[in-house]
Structure 1
Amino acid sequence: MLTYIFPPPPSLFITAMTVISFTSSSSLGLSELRGKHLHYSKFWNSGSKTSAAKKIKLSSRTGMLIAYNPAFLAGVASFVLYPQENIRILLLCSALTIHFFKRIFEVLFVHNYSGGMNFDVVLAISLSYFLSTATVTYAQYLAQGFPEPSVDLKYLGCLLFLIGISGNFYHHYLLSKIRSKGDKDYKIPKGGLFGLVICPHYLFEIVGFVGISLISQTLYAFSFTIGSALYLIGRSCATRRWYLSKFDHFPKNVKALIPFVL
C-alpha cells in the first residue's frame, strides 16, 4: 500500500476521522438503499410528514449555502494555515477550494429548486463537509514529513478532478434547464449521459473525489472517497427507484449510476 499512499500519521484525530468518515458515509448509502432518505430535493416528502412537520425548514437555496460555505472557507483558510512549499498540498487545497466554490456558484446561479431542507439535515451536511475538508488538508500537512509514495498519482488526480468537476457542472446545468422558471414539476432529464444513467452528476462527482484522493494519496482521502462513493451509489439507486415510481414511461434501460452496469 505504501507504494501508492503516504504512511498514516501518528494522529489519533486522523485515525478516528478516517473510521468515522467511512462508516458514516457508507451507512447513509445503505439507508438510501433501504428508503430512508435525507430530507432534501425530490425526497423531501418521502419520510414521515408528521415528524418532518415538527422540524425547522429552510429553502433549498439557503440550506445549500449554509452547507457549502464552511467547507469553502476551510479550503481558503488552508492556504494560510499550511505552508504551500509542497506542490501536492497546493494542488489539494486548490482542488478542494474550487470544488466548493463551484457548488456555491451553482446554488446561486444554476440550480432550480422545488423543495426544501430540514435545518438539522443542513447542519449535519455542513459539519460533515467542513470536517472532511479540514481533515484531508490537515492529514496532507502531517504527511509532508514522510517519503513520497513511489508511484506519484497527483497529476493523474488533477486530470480526473477536472473531468469530474466539468462533467458534474455540465449535467447540473442540463438539470436546471429541464424546467421552465416557476415550474415545480419533475421531468425525466435528457442530454449528456442522462440517456444512459439517471445520475451522471453523481458519477462525475465520484470521479472528482477520486481525483482529489489521488492528488492527496493519504489514507484519509481514500477512505473519504470510498465512503462518499458508497453514499452516492445508494442515493443514485434510490433516485432511479423514485423516477420508476413517478413516471410510467421511464426507460428501463437507463441505469442508476454506471452506464450498462449499475
Structure 2
Amino acid sequence: MATIKLVVKSRGGRELLPDGLILPYNATVDDLKARFAELKPYFYPSRQRFTLPPREGARSGEALVSGKRLSDYGLEDGSVLVFKDLGPQISYRTVFFWEYLGPLLVYPLFYFLPQLFYGDLKVPEKSVAQNLALAYWTFHYVKRELETVFVHKFSHATMPILNLFKNCIYYWGFAAYVAYFVNHPLYTAPPVNRTYAALAVAMLCQFANFRCHVILANLRPAGSAKGYTIPRGFLFNLITCPNYTAEILGWVAFTTATQTAAAGLFTLVGAAQMAQWAVGKHKRLLKTFDGRDGREKYPRRWIMLPPFF
C-alpha cells in the first residue's frame, strides 16, 4: 500500500517527530490523529489540532477537519503540518450537564430555605410571581438537561476543561443572584395578570427554542456522513439563529414576569454572548454557502433579533 511521510512541526517551528509521520496515502484526518497519539500518547486525539502551514501574510493555516482525507488538502510525501495542543479536554455533554445542574439545585434553595440567606427578616407567604418563577426556572433547566442527553448533536466532541469551571461559575452564580432577589422577603411582585401573560409568552418561547433544537439535530442524523447544510423550516426561514432568538425573548418575558433587575442583567449578559455566537455562525454560513462553483447560496436572513439584528 502506498504511504506518505509527513513532517509535523510545532507552531514555533520545532520538528516534533524526527522520523516523520508515516500514513497510508488514503488516510483520513482521524487516522492522522490516531497515529500521532500512538507516537505521542500524552496528546490524545481530542486535544490535537493540525493545520496547514500559513500562507504568506496569514497568521494561521487551514485547519484539518475530522472525517476528511489528507488528500483533500493536497498533502503528499514530505508535506508539513503544524500541530497545536488544545490542552486537557472534556466532553460537551459533561460540561452541559454540570452547568445546567447548578441552576436546578441553587435556585430552589432560596425559595425553600430563605432562613439561610436573609437573616432575621420575616419571610411572608410566597407570591404568585415567586411560585411561577420557580416553576418556570425549573422547567427551563430540566428541558436543557433533557436536550443535552436526547436532542443535541455536537459538531465537536470536546472542549477545553477550563470551560467547565467558567460555565459553571456563570450559570451557578447567576442562579444564586437571580434567586436571591426574586425570593427576597422584601420582594414586590408585579400585577398578577402581567406575570401570567409574561410567563405564557416565555413558555411559547421555550417550545419554539425546543423546535429549533430538534431541527438542528436532524441536520446531522446519527451515523450520517452528511456534511454541513443550511437549516430550513420553522423560524430558520427568517433567522439564522432562531434558537437564540427564542431563548432571549423567553428571558425577557421572565424578567417582565418577575420585575427584577437581576433577571434583566442575566438576560443582557446571555444575549450579548449569544449575539457573538450568532454572528460567527452567520458568517460561517455565508462563507460556506457562497453560491460559487455550484455551491448553494445562503439566503438572506436576520442574524438573531429581527428587525434590529
State which structure, 1 or 2, has the greater radius of gyration over its C-alpha atoms: 2
- CA change 1:74–1:240 in 2 (3 A) is same
1:257 aligns with 304
Residues 199 and 257, structure 2, Cα contact 8 Å, conserved in 1: yes
Residues 92 and 137, structure 1, Cα contact 8 Å, conserved in 2: no
**Aligned equivalents of 2:127, 2:261: Cα separation in 1:** 18
Between 1:193-202 and 1:147-156, the stretch displaced more is 147-156
RMSD: 2.9
Residues 275 and 304, structure 2, Cα contact 8 Å, conserved in 1: yes
2:126 aligns with 85
1:7 aligns with none
- CA change 1:122–1:247 in 2 (3 A) is farther
Equivalent residue letter for 1:74: V
After superposition, give the CA deviation of every residue in 1:223-249 in whole Å (9 maximum; x if it has no partner).
Answer: 221222222222211210111122223
- CA change 1:147–1:137 in 2 (3 A) is closer
- CA change 1:194–1:54 in 2 (3 A) is closer
Match of 1:56 among 78, 88, 91: 88
1:101 aligns with 142
**Aligned equivalents of 1:71, 1:94: Cα separation in 2:** 12
2:25 aligns with none
- CA change 1:72–1:146 in 2 (3 A) is closer
3-state SS of the aligned residue for 1:194?
helix
After superposition, give the CA deviation of every residue in 1:187-243 in whole Å (9 maximum; x if it has no partner).
Answer: 211111111111000000001111211122111111221222222222211210111
1:238 aligns with 280
Match of 1:71 among 103, 127, 130: 103
Match of 1:175 among 203, 216, 226: 216
**Aligned equivalents of 2:252, 2:166: Cα separation in 1:** 23
1:119 aligns with 161
Give the TM-score of the pair, scaled to structure 2. 0.63
Aligned residues: 218
Match of 1:195 among 221, 237, 243: 237
Give the TM-score of the pair, scaled to structure 1. 0.74
Choose between structure 1 and 2 for higher RCO, CA contacts under 8 A separated by at least 6 residues: 1
3-state SS of the aligned residue for 2:183?
helix
- 1:159: how far off? 1.5
Structure number with higher strand proportion: 2
After superposition, give the CA deviation of every residue in 1:119-150 in whole Å (9 maximum; x if it has no partner).
Answer: 111221121111111111111122x4255457
- CA change 1:259–1:146 in 2 (3 A) is closer
Residues 157 and 215, structure 1, Cα contact 8 Å, conserved in 2: yes
**Aligned equivalents of 1:155, 1:88: Cα separation in 2:** 8
3-state SS of the aligned residue for 2:237?
coil
Identical positions, percent: 25
After superposition, give the CA deviation of every residue in 1:54-84 in whole Å (9 maximum; x if it has no partner).
Answer: 4221122122112211122223434422476
User: Structure 1 residue runs of 4+, over 6 Å off?
Assistant: 44-52
**Aligned equivalents of 1:150, 1:167: Cα separation in 2:** 26
| Mapped pair 1:154 → 2:195 | yes
- CA change 1:182–1:123 in 2 (3 A) is farther
Equivalent residue letter for 1:212: F
What stretches of structure 1 of length at least 5 have no aligned partner?
Answer: 1-43
